[in-house]
Structure 1
Amino acid sequence: MIEKGKISALQLGMMMYLVIAPTAILNSPSISFRYAKQDLWISPIWSLSGWMAIYLAFKLHDMYPGHNIVQASERIIGRWPGKAVGFLILFIYLYINSGTTRLYGEFVSEAFLPETPLIVVTGTMVLVCALASRGGVEITGRFAQLILPVFIVLFLSNALPIIPDLKPMNIFPVMPEGIMPSIAGSIVLQSWYCQFITVSFLLPFVSDREKAAKSVSIALIAVIVTLVVANLVTLLLLGEITGHFTYPFLILARYISLVEFFSHLESLYTAIWVFGAFMKIYLFFTYSCLPPLNG
């Protein structure tokens, strides 16, 4: 598609946050708990791949303005090797999108729509995302501004009501075997953090480029804080059984019951996941179609 739209640095940061955080909180607690146990809340702090991805994206943009990582690869290693690298990068995006779509479908089908065929659940999501991606990068930025406050409200609606029932002793002992278990628990998280390389696809369309690095860095820090909070509240409520659930944060939502009628908040959690999956699939569709400004 021919892209003439522009986004702000703030919108860029919002988009990157929404690509990672909503989908990561789905099963981050259970994945980290397998390796880190009670130190699972420390695992998201080890975010080296995220910082490296951001540095690489901005460095490439400084060296080859107006080019994303796919076009820059042709300038660096030659036309055909560069095209091969570009194809590999786009294939990785296709793979991530297919995995996200499958995970979304299995979650919705298993938790809420067991009688609905999986192809219907995933097919409708893919169709909506494909249609939405035709709106271009400027519409994507505006949509991120709309969705982010909704996500924050829904996330806090799941986390705050259970504070009185949390058990602080579940966090102890802290690092009984040193830092290695928490680092091991972060290995899978690194695959999410490194998706910040997708900043490369959007930098050519940022209107206030000088603010972009700060905005994306804040987005990464916000993702880290979100995962730390999600892992921590899950641990403090569920304790040793955290690893027994595929979607521990969903258990938190089902646990909430306020003044005898404010309950069954798993619908809010579902909204978080649907928003997150939609945003990720939608943005990755858009990333894969964006040309360089001077291409």
Structure 2
Amino acid sequence: MNNRETISITQMAFIYFAYITGSAMIVIPGPLVKMSLNASWLSILISLVIGLVLLYIFFYLQTLYPGLTFIAFSRKIIGKWPTVIIACLILTMAFHMAVGIFIDVAAFMNSMMLPETPMYVFTGMLYVLAALLLRGGIESIARMFSILIVVIMVFWAIVLILLIPDYHPEFLRPVFPEGIKPMLLGSYLTFGFPYGEVVLFMIMLPFARAKQSKPLKKALVWAMLANGTVLVLSTICTIMELGPIAVEKNTRCSFSHNWLKSAIV
């Protein structure tokens, strides 16, 4: 543990932003619009607030037990065997989300680029890539994703800007065509993914080079707010661009809709 790699607060914020944004801005709008209709962006805001509450809870626990990992202070709070159960559940969630992301990426490659290539080719390459990243360590991951996420966000912004002539703000009304129940169901969906994954990311906090938790907390809060902005803008632009056919169009384009719905909802 003395030779454990650490990264800066800025790098940790970049990793966190990439972690909760990466596939979410592709996967979320389709099933969310189908479920919550024009209130989709409100669903994201509700789940974002809950995610921020989770984040503050974890930082509060870190102030009570400074220098300890999530598992370590869990043992102090609830004991050994309950912590073992929680650790097993977290490990199960990590494997579940990893498999889901691999399926998403492989399905995208298979449906959009190389339709005649078997999906196991893409999933196998992704498992090898994940193994190489883990072998490289958190410093290598931080350096790589700090660059990649900037490039991705630049292209995301370019796409939204190029679609401006096709936006119709009147499609955003009414906000609650079927009441508030769809909005609450949508917030449940987006809380499970991506904001529920805050629990997984908290395990990485001890790898940040931070003498105090306040600067790190501030950086992660800003990263989460930036993520919420990206998801809200993506969803609003989807509705303004597609209007009444947003549900049908997003259902066809979202290759992971059936998996996501069964896994989270």
Is structure 2 residue 37 aligned with structure 1 residue 37?
yes
Counterpart Cα distance in 2 of 1:248 and 1:45: 24
The alpha-carbon deviation at position 214 of structure 1 amounts to 0.5
Match of 2:262 in 1: none
Match of 1:198 in 2: 200
Does the CA contact (< 8 Å) of 1:41 and 1:228 recur in 2? yes
The alpha-carbon deviation at position 239 of structure 1 amounts to 1.0
Does the CA contact (< 8 Å) of 1:109 and 1:115 recur in 2? yes
Q: Which amino acid aligns with 1:29?
A: P
Q: Is the deviation greater in 35-44 or in 115-124?
A: 35-44
Match of 1:246 in 2: 251
Q: What does residue range 1-295 of structure 1 map to in structure 2 within 5 Å?
A: 4-46=4-46, 47-176=48-177, 179-191=180-192, 192-208=194-210, 209-244=213-248, 245-246=250-251, 248=253
Alignment deviations for residues 198-223 of structure 1 (CA, whole Å, 9 cap, x no partner): 34222212223331111111111111
Q: Which runs of 5+ in 2 are unaligned?
A: 256-265
Counterpart Cα distance in 2 of 1:53 and 1:186: 15
Counterpart Cα distance in 1 of 2:115 and 2:149: 29
Q: Which amino acid aligns with 2:17?
A: Y
The alpha-carbon deviation at position 2 of structure 1 amounts to 7.7
Identity %: 28
Match of 1:291 in 2: none
Does the CA contact (< 8 Å) of 2:172 and 2:239 recur in 1? yes
Q: Is the deviation greater in 56-65 or in 241-250?
A: 241-250
Does the CA contact (< 8 Å) of 1:11 and 1:142 recur in 2? yes
Q: Which amino acid aligns with 2:77?
A: I
Does the CA contact (< 8 Å) of 1:105 and 1:122 recur in 2? yes
The alpha-carbon deviation at position 3 of structure 1 amounts to 5.5
Counterpart Cα distance in 2 of 1:231 and 1:5: 37
Counterpart Cα distance in 2 of 1:18 and 1:201: 16
Q: Is the deviation greater in 59-68 or in 4-13?
A: 59-68
Alignment deviations for residues 92-142 of structure 1 (CA, whole Å, 9 cap, x no partner): 111111111112212221222211111101110110111111122222222
Does the CA contact (< 8 Å) of 2:30 and 2:254 recur in 1? no
Q: Which amino acid aligns with 2:18?
A: L
TM-score normalised by length of structure 1: 0.78
Counterpart Cα distance in 2 of 1:25 and 1:72: 33
Does the CA contact (< 8 Å) of 1:235 and 1:242 recur in 2? yes
Counterpart Cα distance in 2 of 1:38 and 1:154: 25
Counterpart Cα distance in 2 of 1:72 and 1:144: 29
Does the CA contact (< 8 Å) of 2:102 and 2:123 recur in 1? yes
How many residue pairs were aligned? 250
More helix by share: 2
Counterpart Cα distance in 2 of 1:68 and 1:12: 16
Counterpart Cα distance in 2 of 1:3 and 1:127: 25
Q: Is the deviation greater in 91-100 or in 53-62?
A: 53-62
Does the CA contact (< 8 Å) of 2:38 and 2:177 recur in 1? no
Q: Which amino acid aligns with 1:229?
A: L
Q: Which amino acid aligns with 2:158?
A: S
Q: Is the deviation greater in 227-236 or in 68-77?
A: 68-77
Q: Is the deviation greater in 131-140 or in 223-232?
A: 131-140
Does the CA contact (< 8 Å) of 1:9 and 1:207 recur in 2? yes
Structure 1 runs of 4+ with >6 Å offset: none
Question: Of the two structures, which has the highest relative contact order with CA contacts closer than 8 Å and spacing of 6 or more?
Answer: 2
